[in-house]
A and B are shown apart, each in its own frame.
Chain A
């Protein structure tokens, strides 16, 4: 079974530019999460999709961040315009609501974003 994949693995952009991160969850997983780890700090929750709907976006830092999950499959996280403090590692995770094991989230490897 393929795991959660994220693209790109690394992105280096200049302040003011736009970057779009992509996450492909495990096939069949209805829950999709975005997290980020800013340098030196712990991983923090950004938002949670259930299928194509935003279940919880309380962790989104500001309106420069836009997440979408059209069709309830893959998701994109766009940062526009990027600021220096956006640098960090962005993680995506997915889970299946119908799992008898509970809401265990499977994480992707992350996208390392560097804003110069």
Chain B
């Protein structure tokens, strides 16, 4: 596997708007996906996960959508708040293999 994070796209949204962060995964055999939030100076924090037998999963203000046809994962954050500003990255796991993390997206919430 390769380390990630060398090129970091940025998404800027107005406070109160909805945010959509996208992730393309590489392995069609991956069966478990996770979204992490990484705030400055802190380690990654688990947000929400989804298994490959699901298309959608909702949490508190967050929704993850999985499109296995095009190997695409998205994280939707409703009513984005300043505290949501962070780097978000997805990770895929193929059963029995190690995690592969996505490159990460920096979310900036504008006042």
Which residues of chain A have a CB within 8 Å of any CB of chain B? 1, 3-5, 9, 26, 33, 35, 37, 42-43, 45, 48, 89, 91, 93, 101-112
CB A114 to nearest CB in B, in angstroms, measures 10
Q: Return the contact of B98 from the options A5, A42, A103, A110 (Cβ within 8 A).
A: A110
Verify if B23 is at the interface (C-beta below 8 Å from A).
no
B77 close to chain A: CB less than 8 A: no
Distance of A106 Cα from B103 Cα, bound (Å): 9
Number of A-B residue pairs at CB separation under 8 A: 63
> A91-B99, A105-B43, A105-B44 given as contacts; is B5 within 8 A of A43 (CB)?
no
Cross-chain contact of A1 among B6, B8, B34, B99 (Cβ < 8 A): B6
B53 contacts chain A at the CB level, 8 A cutoff: no
Does any Cβ of A come within 8 Å of B36's Cβ? yes
* B interface majority secondary structure: loop
CA distance A108 to B4 in the complex (A): 8
In the bound complex, CA of A105 to CA of B98 (Å): 18
A107 lies within 8 A of B101 (CB): yes
Give the shortest distance, in Å, between B110 (CB) and chain A (any CB). Answer: 17
Pick from B2, B43, B87: contact of A35, CB under 8 Å = B43
B38 at the interface (CB under 8 A from A): yes
Determine if A89 and B34 form an interchain contact, defined as CB atoms under 8 angstroms apart: no
**Smallest Cβ-Cβ distance to B96: which chain A residue:** A112
Q: A5-B3, A104-B104, A111-B98 are in contact. List 17 more A-B contacts (CB 8 A).
A: A3-B3, A9-B98, A35-B44, A42-B34, A43-B34, A43-B36, A43-B44, A48-B43, A104-B5, A104-B87, A105-B44, A106-B6, A107-B4, A107-B99, A109-B2, A109-B98, A109-B100
